[in-house]
Amino acid sequence: MNIYPKLILDALEKVRYPGTGKNIVEMGMIEDDMRIEGNKVSFSILFEKQNDPFMKSLVKAGETAILTYAGENIDIKGNINIKTKPSPLPAPLDLLPGVKNIIAISSGKGGVGKSTVAVNLAVALAKSGYKVGLLDADIFGPSIPKMFHAEEAKPYMERIGERELIAPIEQYGVKILSIGFFINKKDALVWRGTMASNALKQLITDAHWGELDYFLLDLPPGTSDIHLTLVQTLAVTGVVIVTTPQEVALADARKGISMFTGKKINVPVIGLVENMAWFTPAELPENKYYIFGKDGGKQLSEEMHIPLLGQIPIVGNICEGSDSGAPVALNDSVTGEIFRLLAEKMVEQVEIRNKNLSVTKRVVAITKN
Ligand code: ADP
């Protein structure tokens, strides 16, 4: 039997890439490294992404098409190589060159006030004169637009040099982006992990964040692929963990801390925030009621040798501020002051870390010389 490349390519034209209506030949996926020796045929298929979900099934379909349409005696099984394009993402450090510090805000459990802390931290930092960005990476429950009274906002595209970039919304001196600006909640809920991660990557790399002192990421609760993708995509400076003093929340916070400091992710924990630390009724300002237990977060920070950035009480106006889209940190009230101090403590810890890091870098440089 006479086997020649066109015979093989004609057979491969029967294989369609799912969802595109196109076959793998017209999509340019067949590399020109085809070798034919006797009845043995080998070549490579090029995939855009390393985690293409159709990789295996397309190789199998390619084999079947060749055996069916080009000749059943062709030795093709196991001879189709897989090639992938190198990842287009630049190294993490080069992605956001204008951003000085990237801080992820995380919690083990939902509902502990992670987004509330992220929003008020961002506003308090901006009030103190820092350039601040906030990305709502809590893709399955984006709440930042509401908390910033920006639910109706529609970010527009901006031409920066050669590229069209998403312009973040600016509110209360903070640049914000959320997947909530682009899709409705119901759609986000059915997204798979990779779709969510890709959408987030786009909000980071295809947006015009510009110069920032602090870029805060409001992560989804728990531990997921999204956490891994984000810290692999970006050079995260450190993580702030939010917990309540309850034992169940502390157990999950502990897990979160271990994940971030573990080998796979290896990001420093800047500090812990104990939210809902006590309740003080407006009419009895001296009284503190430890509804979820006393000092649970403080003890966890001591146990894990992590700085305690602050203890935040349960106060009605924190909740009202979030609901009405006017974060309490905007005011010079007693509660506003709590968040100002929290931001100050975080900056202090970040600066200590950066200073230690630059000393380490200098030592490494001296050792190299
Ligand atoms: P998470 O992001 O962890 O899911 P949220 O920030 O959405 O949690 O907070 C959950 C609810 O608790 C919201 O209604 C929020 O307004 C409220 N909340 C959070 N922290 C406090 C606090 N310190 N005092 C009063 N209400 C709070």
Alpha carbon of 359 to ligand 1 centroid (Å):
38
Most confident segment among 94-103, 119-128, 258-267, 326-335: 119-128
Verify that 62 and 173 share a domain, yes or no.
no
Alpha carbon of 117 to ligand 1 centroid (Å):
8
Q: Is residue 354 part of a domain?
A: no
pLDDT in tens, 61-83: 999 999 999 999 999 999 999 99
Verify that 249 and 178 share a domain, yes or no.
yes
Q: Is residue 364 part of a domain?
A: no
Verify that 68 and 165 share a domain, yes or no.
no
Verify that 224 and 267 share a domain, yes or no.
yes
Identify the residue whose C-alpha is closest to ligand 1 atom 9: 113
Identify the weakest region by mean pLDDT among 22-31, 113-122, 198-207, 234-243.
198-207
Q: What is the CATH number of the domain that holds 31?
A: 3.30.300.130
Cα gap 362→94, rounded to integer Å? 20
pLDDT for residue 131:
98
pLDDT band with cut points at 50, 70 and 90 for residue 140: confident
Domain endpoint, select from 58, 84, 110: 84
Verify that 219 and 278 share a domain, yes or no.
yes
pLDDT in tens, 97-133: 899 999 999 998 889 999 999 999 999 999 999 999 9
Do residues 11 and 44 lie in contact, with contact meaning Cβ atoms separated by under 8 Å?
no
pLDDT for residue 191:
66
Query: What region does 268 belong to: left with phi over 0, alpha with psi -120 to 50, or beta?
Result: beta
Query: Is 91 a residue whose pLDDT tops 60?
Result: no
pLDDT for residue 50:
77
Verify that 223 and 301 share a domain, yes or no.
yes
Read off the pTM: 0.74
Q: Which residues are paired to 103 by β-bridges?
A: 216, 238
Q: Is residue 204 part of a domain?
A: yes
Q: What is the mean pLDDT of residues 252-279?
A: 90
Q: What is the mean pLDDT of residues 332-340?
A: 93
Q: DSSP secondary-structure letter at 330?
A: G
CB neighbour list of residue 120: distance below 8 Å, 6 or more residues apart: 318, 321, 327, 328, 329, 339, 342
Q: What is the mean pLDDT of residues 332-348?
A: 95
Nearest ligand 1 atom, CA 116: 6
Verify that 21 and 116 share a domain, yes or no.
no
Q: Is residue 89 part of a domain?
A: no
Which residue out of 123, 319, 323 has the highest number of ligand 1 atoms within 8 Å of its CB and is therefore the one to mutate? Answer: 319
Q: What is the CATH number of the domain that holds 147?
A: 3.40.50.300
Verify that 166 and 79 share a domain, yes or no.
no
CB-ligand 1 contact for 112 (6 Å cutoff): yes
Verify that 107 and 80 share a domain, yes or no.
no
Cα gap 93→39, rounded to integer Å? 49
Q: Is residue 94 part of a domain?
A: no
Domain endpoint, select from 31, 53, 84: 84
Q: DSSP secondary-structure letter at 67?
A: I
Query: Is 185 a residue whose pLDDT tops 70?
Result: no
Q: Which residue has the higher pLDDT, 15 or 48?
A: 15
Q: What is the mean pLDDT of residues 210-238?
A: 86
pLDDT for residue 360:
58
Domain hosting 181: range is 99-343
Q: DSSP secondary-structure letter at 245?
A: S
Domain endpoint, select from 59, 84, 109: 84
Q: Is residue 330 part of a domain?
A: yes
In the chain, % of residues over pLDDT 70: 92
Verify that 42 and 161 share a domain, yes or no.
no
The total of other beta-carbon atoms located within 10 Å of residue 9's CB is 17
CB-ligand 1 contact for 319 (6 Å cutoff): yes
Cα gap 34→29, rounded to integer Å? 12
Please name the amino acid found at residue 94: D
Residue 113 host element (H or E): none
3-class state of residue 126 by DSSP: helix
pLDDT band with cut points at 50, 70 and 90 for residue 135: very high
CB-ligand 1 contact for 115 (6 Å cutoff): yes
Nearest ligand 1 atom, CA 276: 23
Q: Is residue 369 part of a domain?
A: no
Q: Is residue 296 part of a domain?
A: yes
Distances, alpha carbon 358 to alpha carbons 263, 300, 345, 349, 361, in Å: 22, 29, 20, 14, 5
Number of domains in the chain: 2
CB-ligand 1 contact for 110 (6 Å cutoff): yes
For the chain, give the mean pLDDT: 89
Alpha carbon of 224 to ligand 1 centroid (Å):
21
Verify that 228 and 281 share a domain, yes or no.
yes
CB-ligand 1 contact for 315 (6 Å cutoff): yes
Q: Are β-strands 99-107 and 238-243 bridged in parallel, bridged antiparallel, or unpaired?
A: parallel
pLDDT band with cut points at 50, 70 and 90 for residue 89: very low
Verify that 69 and 182 share a domain, yes or no.
no
Nearest ligand 1 atom, CA 312: 23
pLDDT for residue 24:
96
